[in-house]
Homo-oligomer: A and B are copies of this chain.
Amino acid sequence: MIKVAVIGCGYWGPNLIRNFIICPDAELVWICDLNKSRLEKVAMPYPSIKHTTNFNDILNDNTIKAVAIATPVDKHFDIAKACLEKGKHILIEKPLASNISQGRELVNLAKKKKLKLMCDHTFCYTGAVRKMKEIIDSGELGELLYFDSVRINLGLFQHDVNVVWDLAPHDLSILDFIIKETPIQINTHGVCHAGNDLENIAYVSIYYPDSFFAHLHLNWLSPVKIRKTVICGREKMLVWDDLEPVEKIKIYDKGIEIKNLKHEQKNKMMFSYRSGDIYIPQLDNTEALFEVVREFIGCIRKNRKPLTDGESGLRVLRLLEAAEKSIKSNGVNINV
């Protein structure tokens, strides 16, 4: 039984709590939040779990082997660092830290201490994304050509971050999870309609070393909600519509074949189109966050690397910073 604490009981903390309670091989011992009334409300249904507003109670409890951090991002670094120094494994909300140097310090500290540092890239643990990874890894799609994601709705305008920091982490963590190549360049175009320098629409282009290309449309000001991703391969194409209740992923046996006609004039090509069956795989419906905590506990017990480790959190952070730099510089290309 690995004894666990959850720090931060705001929006996401209660979900972590709920899943740690049912996670095999884990025992949730402490929950912590600075806000006493919120803490007590969250703690009420679980009388056997201790709660505290003083995070040192957790730091100093040597039986606690693992800590999940769901505080605001500006507290991530201090709390995670203190925990790592006390020899505790860490599961941390995304983004990993407020900037890359902090993120890198956490990754290095965890490595030095031989502790797990796992990022809660929840989407990577959904049935849909796991199925997509499985399909891509199988080679069924052929050479990957592009990834196009639309993530728009009339969403909550954030007061402190723009739409890139709010929504892009989802797509960037998914890209990091399913695409083996590392991006080399990024640019972002955006507009702010609220008069506060926080863009509410952004179009992000991400270039990879080969011909693969990714594009994100992020938008808080759309009358319709869309969560749709196309992943196009040379053999087959895949569409993921996350708003579909059941038929989330469709695989299209469609493509185009290009033949260079050598004996013909320069640049003359022949295109032939292929259109076949469509296939909708059944997906695992387990709650993604349950898979997250199970992965965390499993990695500690088996001493293996988490699927979404600190390095992946660092790579997402690097792209976020570059996207931000581009959008503030009129969309120039930023090498990453």
Contacts and interface: CB of A to CB of B under 8 A. Distances in A.
Interface of A: 44-45, 145-146, 148, 150, 154, 156-157, 159, 187, 189, 191-197, 201, 203, 205, 211, 213, 215, 217, 219, 221-224, 230, 232, 234, 237-239, 247, 250, 252-254, 256, 258, 260, 267-269, 271, 273, 275-282, 330-331, 333
Contacts of A157: 256, 258, 269, 271
B330 A333 contact: yes
A295 to B, nearest CB: 25
Nearest to A192: B211
B280 A277 contact: yes
A191 B217 contact: no
A307 to B, nearest CB: 25
Q: How many copies does the complex hold?
A: 4
A135 to B, nearest CB: 12
Contact of A278 (B192, B201, B254, B280): B280
B276 A252 contact: no
Contact of A45 (B45, B148, B215): B45
A282 B273 CA distance: 14
23 contacts: A146-B201, A154-B254, A159-B268, A187-B189, A192-B211, A194-B258, A194-B271, A195-B269, A203-B203, A203-B215, A221-B256, A222-B230, A222-B232, A223-B232, A224-B239, A250-B280, A253-B282, A276-B282, A277-B282, A279-B279, A279-B280, A331-B331, A331-B333
